[in-house]
Amino acid sequence: MNDMSDAELVECIAEAGPRREAAEAALCRRFAPRIRLYGIKHLRDEDLTRDLTQTVLVAVLEAARQRRIDDPQHFDRFVFGTCRNTVARMRQQATRLPLATDEKLAALVAVPPLTVELNGLFACIAKLEERSSLVLMMSFLEERSAAEIATKLSLETGNVRVIRHRALGALRRCLDAGEGTSH
C-alpha cells in the first residue's frame, strides 16, 4: 500500500472493498505528519494541532469514501485546502473542535512530538560562534524578524538570514553526529 499513489489509495477507499482499511491507514500515515507540521506552524499549540490532524483526516477520509474528491490526482491539494479551512474555523471558535471517537484513527494520527534532547542541543549551541547563537536566540526565543535583528546588530537582513540558516545547519549536523554530549 505504501507504494501506491494518493489517487490509487483514494480509489481503494471509494471502492469499499477489503483493502479500504489498509488504504485509509496508508493515507493517514502519509498525511498525518504533514498536517501536524502545518498545525505547529500556524496554530503553535500541541493540543490544537492534535485536534487539527484528527479533524482533517476524518474529513478527507469521509470525502474519499463518498467520492467527493473531484481530482484524486491532486489529493494533497484537497488535504491542504481542508487543513486551511479547518485552521480558519479553529481560529474563529474559542473552543476546541469536537473530535471523532475513532480509536483506530486516533492511533494512526499519533505522530511523535517534535523534540530534541536539551542537553545535547545546548552542547551544540555552545560550539557555535557567539554571533550565530545570538542570532538564533533573537530569532526564536525573542521572536524577532531578520529585519529587526539586522537593525539591532548593524547587519544586512540577508546577512542575518544566512547566519541563521547556517547556524541551524551546524546545530543539525552536530546533533546528527552525536556531538551534543555534555561535559
Partner 1 sequence: MSGPDQHLDWASLVDYWAGDLAPDDELTHDEHLFGCEACSTLSARVAVLTETLRDLIPPLITPERLAKLAARGLTILENPMQPGDRREVVFPKHVDILLHRLGGLDLANATHVSFVMRVESTNEVLSTVLEAPFDRAAGTVLVACQQHFAAFPPDTVAEVHVHAADGGEKLSRYTILHCFEPPT
Residues that bind partner 1 (CB under 8 A): 30-31, 33-34, 37-38, 40-41, 74, 76-77, 79-80, 83-84, 114-116, 118-119, 121-123, 125-126, 130, 133-134, 136-137, 139-143, 145-146, 152, 161-162, 164-165, 168-169, 171-172, 180, 182-183
Measured from the CB atom, the residue of 44 and 98 that comes closer to partner 1 is: 44
Whole-number minimum distance, CB 122 to partner 1, in Å?
A: 4
User: What minimum distance in Å lies between the beta carbon of 154 and partner 1?
Assistant: 11
Q: Which is nearer to partner 1, 43 or 98 (CB)?
A: 43
Cα dihedral 145, 151, 153, 157 sign? positive
The answer to whether the CB of 57 falls within 8 A of the CB of 28 is yes
CB of 139 to partner 1, least distance (A): 5
Q: Which helix (H) or strand (E) holds 6?
A: helix 6-15
Per DSSP, the residues of 25-83 read: HHHHHHHHHHHHHHHHHHH--HHHHHHHHHHHHHHHHHHHHTT--S-GGGHHHHHHHHH
> What distance in Å separates the CA atoms of residue 167 and residue 129, rounded to the nearest whole number?
9
Kindly tell me which of 104 and 165 has the beta carbon lying closer to partner 1.
Answer: 165
Closest approach of partner 1 to the CB of residue 175, in Å? 8
Residue partners of 82: CB distance under 8 A and separation at least 6? 56, 59, 60, 63
Whose Cβ is closer to partner 1: residue 22's or residue 121's? 121
Nearer of residues 41 and 67 to partner 1, judged by Cβ: 41
